Amino acid sequence: DADVTQTPRNRITKTGKRIMLECSQTKGHDRMYWYRQDPGLGLRLIYYSFDVKDINKGEISDGYSVSRQAQAKFSLSLESAIPNQTALYFCATSVGSSYNEQFFGPGTRLTVL
Amino acid sequence: TQLLEQSPQFLSIQEGENLTVYCNSSSVFSSLQWYRQEPGEGPVLLVTVVTGGEVKKLKRLTFQFGDARKDSSLHITAAQTGDTGLYLCAGASGSTLGRLYFGRGTQLTVWP
């Protein structure tokens, strides 16, 4: 069984719709992250959370919001989707060491028409 | 501003050739990691280097951390088609706890 799962794996939606991407983990890690990946741009950090009561903005948080419902669950929302949010979205977890080694989910491919 | 610059961006070689991928920065990192990502999957951690000058070997892959902890390289000996993928370097900084800074990646294609 996968340690970090993401749902849905693929989603096509229309401009202006609200979308939620969900991430669950069974690794018992405190730290969770949301990234987006675009061709040629690498991985860019959207939001991260060190525990249930801690939420931090990453480098590209505008247009996104998150919710840490439990240690194991971290959701990403697009309040009003726009076409330039079309991308691959990855959730990751980390045990919290100084190395911050991260474990990624399989990704969600989101297309906004 | 990209903290970590990877080169080359694309690399296409024949099976059996050797190759080196570079990851450079003007910033000092407390540790540096290499990930490999295959199509349709998330990145998977290959190695973490933490000491300046450190060299780690993982079968045919050799990872090196620069003496000043600002750069790293990944060398693959006798590449195989299974090495095909996107190679990402990522740095951890002591001043921004809990975050990793990723390079844009090197897309490696190994042809039979």
User: Could you say which of A31, A41, A101 has the minimum Cβ distance to residue B33?
Assistant: A101
Look at the block and give the residue holding tokens 């990402």. B88
Say if the Cβ atoms of A50 and B98 lie within 8 Å: yes
| pLDDT above 90 (res A7) | yes
CA gap A96, A93 in Å, rounded: 9
Q: Which tokens is B13 given?
A: 């070689």
Say if the Cβ atoms of B97 and A98 lie within 8 Å: yes
Q: Which tokens is B10 given?
A: 């694309």
Look at the block and give the residue holding tokens 């003496």. B67
Question: What's the confidence (pLDDT) of residue B99?
Answer: 86
CA gap B25, B29 in Å, rounded: 9
Q: Is A100 on the interface with B (CB under 8 A)?
A: yes
**Residue among B24, B33, B11 nearest B91 (CA):** B33
Q: Is A87 on the interface with B (CB under 8 A)?
A: no
Question: What's the confidence (pLDDT) of residue A2?
Answer: 66
Q: How far is residue B14 CA from its own chain's centroid?
A: 20
Other C-beta atoms closer than 10 Å to the C-beta of A4 total 23
Question: What's the confidence (pLDDT) of residue A57?
Answer: 95
pLDDT, tens digit, 9 for 90 and up, residues A55-85: 999 999 999 999 999 999 999 999 999 999 9
Under 8 Å CB-to-CB from A97, ≥6 apart: which residues? none
Say if the Cβ atoms of A107 and B102 lie within 8 Å: no
Say if the Cβ atoms of B42 and A107 lie within 8 Å: yes
Under 8 Å CB-to-CB from B94, ≥6 apart: which residues? A98, B30
Query: In this structure, are strands B85-92 and B100-102 parallel, antiparallel, or unpaired?
Result: antiparallel
Would you call A84 helix, strand, or coil by DSSP?
helix
Look at the block and give the residue holding tokens 């990855």. A90
Question: What's the confidence (pLDDT) of residue B2?
Answer: 63
pLDDT bin (cut points 50, 70, 90) of residue A42 is confident
A33, closest residue in chain B (CA to CA): B99
- Average pLDDT in chain A: 94
Over residues B67-86, mean pLDDT: 96
Say if the Cβ atoms of B41 and A106 lie within 8 Å: yes
Under 8 Å CB-to-CB from A95, ≥6 apart: which residues? A27, A29, A30, A31, A101
Write the DSSP assignment of B30-62 as a string of letters.
SEEEEEEE-TTS--EEEEEE-STT-EEEETTEE
Over residues B74-96, mean pLDDT: 92
* Side-chain-facing half-sphere of A87: CA atoms under 13 Å: 21
